[in-house]
Amino acid sequence: MTDASEKNVAAGAAATKADTTPAWVVDPVGPLTGDIVVRGSKNAVTKHLVASLLGDSPSTITNVPDIGDVDITAQMLEALGCGIDRADGITTVDPRSLTSSRVPLTFTGMNRIPILMVGPLLHRVGEAFVPLLGGDDIGSRPVDFHVDALRAMGAEITFTDEGMEAKTTRLRGAHIELPYPSVGATETVLLTATLAEGRTVLENGALEPEVIELALFLQRMGARIEMRPGRRYIIDGVDKLSGAAHRLQGDRIEAFSYLVAGLITGGQVTVYGCSQDRLVTAISTLSGMGAEFDITDTSVSARAGRLKPAAVETDTHPGFMTDWQSPMVALFTRCEGLSVMYETVYENRFTYVPALNKMGAQIETYNTPLGSVAGRFVGSSTPCSVIVRGGMPLKGTEVTVPDIRGGFAYVLAAASAEGTTTITGTHHLDRGYNKPIENFKSLGLDIERVQVPRPPDLD
């Protein structure tokens, strides 16, 4: 069992007690300094594990992070009958023993990976069932794009109160144009089109590094995938795919988040394992705010003098990543003056703001798009923009994590606050970050896992 698995089991057992819940207690110590080695990307590893279903022999993924989402995905594959071998950051999936096409209901609401299994299971078995999806509560994340693409390739899909049923006699290539360059829908098309009969043309596909990494892994398995200008993918179906080996690229979300940990506390963090090209937009944005960088072939290091406020808007790659947004807003609280963050990817990504305000930040939310990218959520009741008045002193308090990325922002704010902060709902952080407690401790932060009385908002 991995370290994250043991933590999750222990946390789950404790959470069954009516009166207590797992928490992290953070006491600020001043500037955070040191080195962090990031593992493979959370947003890539689970997709590679799913892709392994398509092979006629085992696939091996290395540099695998020790996170909850890997545990969950591996358990799903085992429930389908696949052989799973995990040790020391290496995971091997043997799809030859697949015995079931139904992801058990016990995985209902855990994450969004089951929808990506539909195409591979249709190829392997001709039918599939996946339970209702979960994942972070960051706004509407419908499966319409996935379903429309699967139906275009010949899948018959029906919905029940428990989940989604799919069947087919043969999947065939199709011309698919996504209304928005959705990462998940692009991955569904890539995973399904590789073994479909004929050619699939995907228009307006996502170009995030994790998507490209998946395409390259599928190509390594024997898929015929081309990338054309204008967000176009051309996939010619093949008769079979074979297992392959791949070392995952570093997690750019973790890398950015730890660089910010140094900046927000007036320290300096050096990140290894995530190449400069995956952080280009983040580096340029932070540089514009006054951060100074040392960049080598193997590392990126950031230190701060007097940081300036900024106006930032999220966008699809190569724009500023939506998962960088909450750490950046936390950093804005330390920059004298007014900063603006405009979210264009998800319409409910500011659920963490009230807790930062509770800590003393001055952040105002707006339904008005405060940026140049066309607003996707005009008329939504949830805010798409925030204005941060930086320089206000933060104070420790008790907060509850709403989602993975918002939770990391709480830790960053706590590290730069005065006094102790107690953070509950930390299972989100264990689900998405590799050894976060150990990494923060290596930077000098006083942070511990504890059991605390269960707050009412967790009931």
User: What pLDDT was estimated at residue 2?
Assistant: 52
Co-location of 161 and 16 in the same domain: no
- Cβ(429)–Cβ(401) below 8 Å: yes
- Cβ(164)–Cβ(129) below 8 Å: yes
User: What pLDDT was estimated at residue 229?
Assistant: 96
Those residues whose C-beta lies under 8 Å from the C-beta of residue 301, and which sit 6 or more positions away, are 268, 269, 270, 271, 293, 294, 295
- State the average pLDDT over residues 57-77: 96
Confidence of residue 457 (pLDDT cuts 50, 70, 90): low
Co-location of 203 and 214 in the same domain: yes
Co-location of 188 and 263 in the same domain: no
Q: Which of 136, 251, 315, 403 is catalytic?
A: 136
Confidence of residue 3 (pLDDT cuts 50, 70, 90): low
Cis peptide bond prior to 131, omega within 30° of 0: no
Q: Which of 311-325, 350-364, 379-393 has the lowest mean pLDDT?
A: 379-393
Looking at the chain, the whole-number percentage of residues with pLDDT higher than 70 is 92
Q: Write out the residue range of the structural domain in which residue 7 sits.
A: 3-38+250-458
User: What pLDDT was estimated at residue 19?
Assistant: 87
Co-location of 25 and 51 in the same domain: no
Tokens in use for 351? 């659920």
Res. 414: pLDDT tops 60 = yes
User: What pLDDT was estimated at residue 168?
Assistant: 97
Co-location of 444 and 349 in the same domain: yes
Co-location of 68 and 142 in the same domain: yes
- State the average pLDDT over residues 398-410: 90
Cross-strand bridge partners of residue 299: 272
Res. 141: pLDDT tops 50 = no
The residue among 217, 247, 277 that closes a domain is 247
User: What pLDDT was estimated at residue 428?
Assistant: 87
User: What pLDDT was estimated at residue 111?
Assistant: 81
Looking at the chain, the whole-number percentage of residues with pLDDT higher than 90 is 82
Q: What's the pLDDT tens digit per position in 74-96?
A: 999 999 999 999 999 999 999 99
Give the chain's mean pLDDT: 92
- State the average pLDDT over residues 428-443: 94
This prediction has a pTM of 0.91
Co-location of 406 and 258 in the same domain: yes
Question: What is the domain count for the chain?
Answer: 2
Co-location of 175 and 287 in the same domain: no
User: What pLDDT was estimated at residue 376?
Assistant: 72
239 counts as catalytic? no
The residue among 196, 218, 247 that closes a domain is 247
Co-location of 272 and 185 in the same domain: no
Q: What's the pLDDT tens digit per position in 366-379?
A: 988 898 887 677 66
- State the average pLDDT over residues 183-199: 97
Burial 34-61, CB ≥16 within 10 A → b, else e: bebbbbbbbbbbbbbbbbbbbbeebbbb
Confidence of residue 138 (pLDDT cuts 50, 70, 90): very low
- Tell me, what CATH number does 360's domain have? 3.65.10.10
Confidence of residue 257 (pLDDT cuts 50, 70, 90): very high
Res. 233: pLDDT tops 80 = yes
Co-location of 102 and 138 in the same domain: yes
Cross-strand bridge partners of residue 229: none
- State the average pLDDT over residues 384-396: 96
The residue among 216, 247, 278 that closes a domain is 247
User: What pLDDT was estimated at residue 9?
Assistant: 45
Q: What's the pLDDT tens digit per position in 318-339?
A: 999 999 999 999 999 999 999 9
Res. 140: pLDDT tops 50 = no
User: What pLDDT was estimated at residue 32?
Assistant: 98
Backbone φ/ψ region at 134: left (φ over 0), alpha (ψ -120 to 50), beta:
beta
Co-location of 70 and 128 in the same domain: yes
Co-location of 28 and 58 in the same domain: no
CA distances from 406 to 130, 196, 432 (A): 28, 39, 11
User: What pLDDT was estimated at residue 132?
Assistant: 84
User: What pLDDT was estimated at residue 458?
Assistant: 61
Res. 213: pLDDT tops 50 = yes
d(CA 215, CA 219): 6
